[in-house]
Amino acid sequence: MRACKCSVLAMVIGSIIPVSYANSLIIDGKLDDQAWQSAQKIETFFQVVPATHKVFNDKLNAQVFSDQSGIYIGITNFQPVHSRKKQFNLQDGFMQADFNRVYIDFSGDGSSAYLFAITLGGGTQDAVVTSQRTTDHDWDGDWQSAYHEYGTHWSSEIFIPWHSVSFSPKLNEQGLATIGLGVQLYELESNHIFANQQQTLSNSDFFLNMPKLEVKVPVQSQLSFVPYMTHQHHFTERQGKNRESDVGFDLLYKPAHNQTLSVAMNPDFAQVDSDDVDVNYSAVETLRTDKRPFFTQDISVFNVDALQDTKLIHTRRIGASSDDGSEMITPIDGAVRFVHQGTHNQWGGFAVRENSLDNAVGKHFYAGRYSYRTANWRTGVLATHVERPWLNRQAHSAAWDSQYQSETWSVQSAFLLSQIDGEEKNTGNGASLDIGYQFSPNTSASGKYLRLNRHFNNRDMGYMKRNDWQYMNLNFSHAVNINNNWLTRVKHVYDVSYETNTDGLKLPSKQGYRAELMMSNGAQWTMQLDHTGKGWQDNIGADSIAFELPEAFETRVLYVSPYIGSFSWAASIELDEEGLSGHAQQYALDMTWMPHENWNIKFNNFYRNGDGWLVANKRNQITEYDRRYFVNTIEVSSLLADNLELSANVQWSVLEAASKEIFQVTEQGLVQRNDLDTSFVDKGLMSQFKLRYRLGAYSDIYLVYRRGGRDIVALQRDNVGEQGWLDGVEQNWTRPDEDSAIFKMRYLF
């Protein structure tokens, strides 16, 4: 009965959003152009966070029409001046303002969707939403938006050209294409969300019940040419160089909306933004995102979801350091990609060839993808191949993945294979299964299973936390909506995990409970209690012998203040048991000051102090440290003038680790050693100051200054902490490893 009601509701909503056609208009946020007179309105909205599904006709309304150029969405938000929050944010930055968010499924079949968001203040976000309902903000699209304020309301205007995305139009007998459209208002004052559909991305039936409209999509082709040039001046010599210049281009040809050919010569694979300081002494690699345009376009076609961030394609591998270690970034000779998205069939492939430099250290990357989908079901295969001549190594991987979604069920599975051909030949396999069931919009459960055998290795092109691993998880979530003067929702989350290696050796695994309280004034509280059961640690270092860890408890309390006003903050405190017999305290304080609607200054502080931090110093040797770790980050973002943005990021970290106990790991257990001292101090600094002038989509001028360094010093235990933290940071600033100025320009023709 429930499924029937939801389907009828989706049809009713869809029937009141027909499309009209008009000439293009000026995107200024005012919604006063003549073209809007023929647009159709969306007037019924539901409260979806908290998910009371109460109907509102006075929070917002939306208007939609399309023409030969693209689709236009106009949104009117009925918020009086005193309850609004106006603030600018950099592209894809955190939006601390009232904002409108639009989801568009251009194919109308749930194969993927695109997210477009605009704040009251002009900040924007865009992203790709995959068929598995995961969101990837690395994608940047060609679209326009504006907002305008009135005394009783504010309005936003969004225009998305047809050529800005790849999709297969789903045509009816009249030649009209069916498109899914979701419109939302995020009300910052209360943290409530209002939408024209009752489902959010957390619901398995998000795509199935997305309201539909019918539009006439013109037959179009597109040719885009994006050349770029960069020049870097290194004030501190970097790998024997003081200056580096580069030029290249990306060429994109779309013979139809559902086909895209991308060709790049010496493409723009450089990152303008610096990564955060990475203080990682574990055996698990830090997973980083990738904003490079060549990889973010049509990303949903190549997406294969496996649990625990397991990926066959992790594009940060491409153009990374050379195999001989001589280059931090390996130049790219060329790259090509082709994607076809049909009504039921999708396929695509790409090839990238790094420069061989002087001794064949460059790598070659290839990937191919095919998938078939119906309304509720999808299945496909992905294959990758990497050639590494300098290492005399070839790596292959493959995945067969499937997905099923209904009103209540969500099932995702993947079977994985890898093969390494080198000095030795190793073949590995794995499997991932994620099953979710939605009892109601406020209650859901899921079960997860991941298995990677000890020979599975996808790291030449992909990412995994570890292999030789079996991971199982059960999760139950239930929210209670409360309507009183101080509390609006309480959400309970229960999480149970069990982990072993593939030989059945029990690993430490976590069970936890989390309570989330949403307050009527917009504040939020989170209380969490976790228990990690006794288990064997077999992944602290490469090929290390396993040893047993005791059980441990962790407690955490987090408070997030209301976002309104010119100042907001969040604070958390965590008390943990760690290592063999240690305890730790962890504190975090994040503060945001907004002295002006165009200025945003963030202060993030993290401190952890404990006496049970375990680190592998070498094979079968571990140290338990008294450790103090502090990270401070200052971020500034500003809109200086129309299209001129300033951002600054200064981050410094201090890690002081004094040896407490040192152990040799043996088959019989841990043997204490008294003849060693592995104490050390690790201090790092990263700073970046960036001016960006936006000329248009994929058209920018950047001026960037970077300065920073890292200093790791081995000390005697008694000497750890002698030097003041600020003195160490000053050394990183005065004797930097990186001291560079970068000029970059790109332009879309």
DSSP per residue over 635-703, as a string? EEEEEEETTEEEEEEEEEEEEEEEEEEEEEEETTEEEEESS----EEEEEEEEEEEEEEEEETTEEEEE
- Do residue 250 and residue 196 come from a single domain? no
* One domain, residues 87 and 194: yes
Judgement on whether residues 167 and 257 belong to the same structural domain of the protein: no
Angle at 359 between CA 332 and CA 427, to 5 degrees: 80
Instruction: Give the Cβ contact number of residue 4 at 10 Å.
Output: 9
pLDDT digits (tens, 9 = 90+) for 220-250: 999 999 999 999 999 988 777 899 898 989 8
Domain boundary among 175, 200, 215: 215
The answer on 306 and 197 residing in a single domain is: no
Element spanning 233, H or E: strand 222-238
Residues 6 or more apart whose CB falls under 8 angstroms from that of 407 comprise: 2, 3, 6, 7, 204, 205, 208, 209, 438
Domain identity same for 112 and 155: yes
Same domain (yes/no): 209, 311: no
Is-contact 93 171, C-beta < 8 A? no
Report how far residue 690's alpha carbon sits from residue 635's, in angstroms, rounded to the nearest whole number: 11
Of residues 737 and 11, more confidently modeled:
737
Local structure of residue 37 (DSSP, 8 states) = G
Distance, in Å, from the CA atom of 586 to the CA atom of 227, rounded to the nearest integer, reads 47
Q: Are residues 204 and 307 in the same domain?
A: no
Q: Is residue 239 part of a domain?
A: yes
Task: Work out the mean pLDDT of the chain and round it to a whole number.
Answer: 92
- Verify that 452 and 391 share a domain, yes or no: yes
- For the stretch 706-729, pLDDT in tens is 999 999 999 999 999 988 888 888
Evaluate if residue 21 carries a pLDDT over 70: no
592 pLDDT more than 50: yes
Q: 100-139, pLDDT tens digit by residue?
A: 999 999 999 888 899 999 999 999 999 999 888 989 898 8
Q: How far apart are CA 702 and CA 698, in angstroms?
A: 12
Q: Kindly report, residue by residue over 526-538, the tens digit of the pLDDT.
A: 999 999 999 999 9
User: Per-residue confidence at 1, pLDDT binned at 50, 70, 90?
Assistant: very low
What does the pLDDT read at residue 5? 36
pLDDT at 206 over 70: yes
Q: Which residue has the tokens 């939006």?
A: 95
Q: Are 68 and 75 in contact (CB under 8 A)?
A: no
Percent of the chain with pLDDT over 70: 96
pLDDT at residue 17, as a whole number: 37
Is 533 inside any structural domain? no
pLDDT at 728: 84
Q: Are residues 382 and 411 in the same domain?
A: yes
CA distance 495 to 121: 39
Any domain includes 356: yes
pLDDT the model gives residue 272: 64
More reliable by pLDDT, 541 or 603: 603
3-state helix, strand, coil in the chain (%, to 5): 5, 55, 35
Please count the structural domains in the chain.
3
In a domain, 155, yes or no: yes
Is 58 within a domain? Answer: yes
Which pLDDT does position 6 carry in this prediction? 38
Residue type, 480: V
Pair (344, 367) in one structural domain = yes
For residue 702, the enclosing domain spans 583-748
pLDDT band for position 2 (50/70/90)? very low
How far is the C-alpha of 190 from the C-alpha of 340, rounded, in Å?
43
pTM of the model: 0.91
pLDDT for 269 equals: 54
**Per the domain annotation, does 538 fall within a domain?**
no
The last residue of one of the domains, among 439, 465, 491, is: 465
Domain shared by 701 and 605, yes or no: yes
Which class for 478: exposed (0-12), middle (13-18), buried (19 or more C-beta within 10 A)? middle
- What CATH number is attached to the domain comprising 178? 2.60.40.1190
pLDDT for 615 equals 96
Q: What is the CATH number of the domain that holds 346?
A: 2.40.160
Residue 18: pLDDT over 50: no
Whether 376 and 426 map to the same domain: the answer is: yes
Check pLDDT > 60 for residue 7.
Answer: no
Specify if 23 maps to a domain. Answer: no
Report yes or no on 525 lying in a domain.
no
Give the pLDDT of residue 271.
55
Q: What is the pLDDT of residue 725?
A: 86
* Environment class of 479 (CB within 10 Å of its CB; exposed 0-12, middle 13-18, buried 19+): buried
Question: What are the CA-CA distances from residue 205 to residues 51, 110, 420, 439 (Å)?
Answer: 14, 10, 40, 12
Phi, psi at 594, each rounded to 5°: -120, 80
Written as one letter, the residue type at 711 is D
In this predicted model, what pLDDT tens digit does every residue of 475-501 receive, in sequence order? 999 999 998 889 999 999 999 999 999
